[in-house]
Amino acid sequence: MKNLKDKKILLIICGGIAAYKSLDTIRILKKNGCEIKTILTKSSKEFVTPLSITSLSQGKVYEDLFSIENESEMDHIALSRWADLILVVPATANTISKLAKGSSEDLASTVILASNKPIFLVPSMNVRMWEHPSTKENLNILKKYSYKIIGPEIGDMACGEYGEGKMTEPVDIVNKINDYLFVINKNNKLKALVTAGPTKEYIDPIRFITNKSSGKQGYEIAKSLSRNGYQTTLISGPTNLKINDEIKLIKVETTEQMFKETQKNLPVDVAIFSAAVADFKVVEKYDVKIKKKDELNIKLEKNIDILTYVSNHNSMRPKLVIGFAAETNNLEDNAIEKLKNKNCDMIIANDVSNRNIGFDSDFNEVTIFYKNDKKEKLFAKNKSLISEEIVERVNNQLN
């Protein structure tokens, strides 16, 4: 597990019967060269002691939010910044609920809320608690916030019941983290380009042709790529959305501008074209505002096809070219035709005739078509979750 060597891991231990397994987790992490600091919640001390944690981790154990000793040595903000990643093990139903609500009532929740690092939750609870709708809802909220979830497993529980809710074994937890770091380390050498949003094609200085795209899906894809280690460039049409500082943002208005910026930013390893570019532009743009007339004839011509250009650019074609197909009818036929005609590796198609998902919505439902004739559907969920699933498939394709 060489990807763990010299990694700084902040371990947060919550109060559950599975807390004793955190000791084995620490032992395996230390064996693989990790530096560990630990936060114990108030209830976790009913199951493990600061002394046992310190002896295994050889690192400081933090307990209270307003400890003079802690705050003079390293305040809660600095502690969250120190870590390469945060591991919450076990993550109880109560902890999951608090995090979903953005609670900061103790040191553990305050550090997590203040963190800008990957956060892994390892749930452990009774099967009925795990299956409760509120737990599922809270987990969906946390996934939307990019928390990583490990487990739980199906098995016998300390309460005597059997079912899903058993904490993942320490060796499997550490393997999952190692796998994640492997992907991140490999992706750090890779470049990704994403296009997002609509484009505008001006008729006169104030009127233009455009569409209802909000850019939300493309922005979320760029964020997911960046979180997964890719050096990410986002070329965006007009939107009011904000993006992380580590992502290179290039703003454009017209399809031609988006095309030129795409050319400038090649080569890349993966290109995802989620922008809803205008397929047509005005042949002759008026230099002044058009006044009302009885008749107005506007002649249109086809715009440059950015996706086709990149996917067929022999010398600079990315390893993976992914297009989007926003359809109102015959979704599968149109997506497969686009996949073949534009020489893509994947086409992500969605039905934009449904007003509750797709364009200008926080939710989406897509079907991914692969060039090997495989297809899979990602059912309706928040666009941030759709993006995580898309990038997971990008990782699989590249790795």
Residue 72: pLDDT above 60? no
Do 199 and 330 reside in the same domain of the chain?
A: yes
Residue 69 CA to its chain's centroid (Å):
37
Segment (H or E) for 8:
strand 8-13
DSSP 126: -
Q: How confident is the model at residue 291 (pLDDT cuts 50, 70, 90)?
A: confident
Do 299 and 384 reside in the same domain of the chain?
A: yes
Which among 139, 160, 185 is the end of a domain?
185
Residue 74: pLDDT above 70? no
What distance separates the 2 farthest-apart alpha carbons in the chain? 86
Do 215 and 162 reside in the same domain of the chain?
A: no
Q: Do the beta carbons of residue 224 and residue 387 sit within 8 Å?
A: yes
d(CA 50, CA 102): 26
Residue 293: pLDDT above 80? no
Which position has the higher pLDDT, 118 or 68?
A: 118
What pLDDT, in 10s, does the model give residues 182-203?
Answer: 999 999 999 999 999 999 999 9
What pLDDT, in 10s, does the model give residues 334-382?
Answer: 999 999 999 999 999 999 887 777 787 899 999 999 998 899 999 999 9
Find all residues with CB under 8 Å of 110, minimum gap 6, and list them: 65, 76, 104
Strands 162-166 and 153-156: antiparallel
d(CA 124, CA 255): 50
Average pLDDT, the chain: 92
Do 320 and 218 reside in the same domain of the chain?
A: yes
Do 317 and 198 reside in the same domain of the chain?
A: yes
Residue 95: pLDDT above 70? yes
Do 99 and 43 reside in the same domain of the chain?
A: yes
Do 207 and 149 reside in the same domain of the chain?
A: no
The DSSP secondary structure of 202-231, one letter per residue, reads ESSSS-EE-----SHHHHHHHHHHHHTT-E
Share of the chain above pLDDT 90, in %: 77
Q: How confident is the model at residue 77 (pLDDT cuts 50, 70, 90)?
A: confident
Do 225 and 343 reside in the same domain of the chain?
A: yes
What pLDDT, in 10s, does the model give residues 145-184?
Answer: 999 999 999 988 777 788 899 999 999 999 999 999 999 9
Q: Round to the nearest angstrom and report the end-to-end CA distance of the chain.
A: 17
Which ranges of 244-382 does DSSP label H, i.e. alpha helix? 255-264, 306-311, 331-341
Strands 35-40 and 8-13: parallel
Gyration radius (Cα) of the chain, Å = 25
pTM, two decimals, is: 0.86
Measured torsion, CA atoms of residues 208, 209, 210, 212, in degrees rounded to the nearest 10: 100
Domain of residue 156, CATH code: 3.40.50.1950
> Among all residues, which ones are annotated catalytic?
159
Do 13 and 157 reside in the same domain of the chain?
A: yes
Domain range holding 84?
2-185
Domain of residue 253, CATH code: 3.40.50.10300
Which among 120, 155, 185 is the end of a domain?
185
Least confident window among 73-77, 282-286, 309-313, 326-330: 73-77
Which position has the higher pLDDT, 95 or 103?
A: 95
Task: Report how many domains make up the chain.
Answer: 2
Residue 53: pLDDT above 70? yes
Do 207 and 285 reside in the same domain of the chain?
A: yes
- pLDDT recorded at residue 295: 75
Number of Cβ atoms within 10 Å of the Cβ of 179 = 12
Which among 125, 160, 185 is the end of a domain?
185
Find all residues with CB under 8 Å of 384, minimum gap 6, and list them: 144, 146, 220, 223, 224
Do 53 and 173 reside in the same domain of the chain?
A: yes
Which backbone phi and psi does 272 adopt, to 5 degrees? -120, 115
Distances (CA, A) of 279 to 142, 247, 271, 379: 38, 27, 19, 28
DSSP 291: P
Do 325 and 345 reside in the same domain of the chain?
A: yes
d(CA 292, CA 287): 15
Crossing angle of the two packed helices 383-398 and 216-227, in degrees rounded to 10: 50
- pLDDT recorded at residue 70: 55
The helix/strand/coil state of 68 is helix
Q: Calculate mean pLDDT across residues 136-147.
A: 94
Q: Do the beta carbons of residue 276 and residue 211 sit within 8 Å?
A: yes
Which position has the higher pLDDT, 68 or 8?
A: 8
Residue 67: pLDDT above 70? no
- pLDDT recorded at residue 235: 98
DSSP 97: H
d(CA 292, CA 25): 73
d(CA 203, CA 65): 60
- pLDDT recorded at residue 68: 55
Q: Calculate mean pLDDT across residues 235-239.
A: 97
d(CA 327, CA 102): 37
The DSSP secondary structure of 380-392, one letter per residue, reads EEEHHHHHHHHHH
Ramachandran region, residue 240 (left: φ > 0; alpha: ψ -120 to 50; beta: rest): alpha
Which backbone phi and psi does 227 adopt, to 5 degrees? -60, -25
Closest CA to 168 of 7, 11, 8, 22: 22
Q: Calculate mean pLDDT across residues 59-79.
A: 69
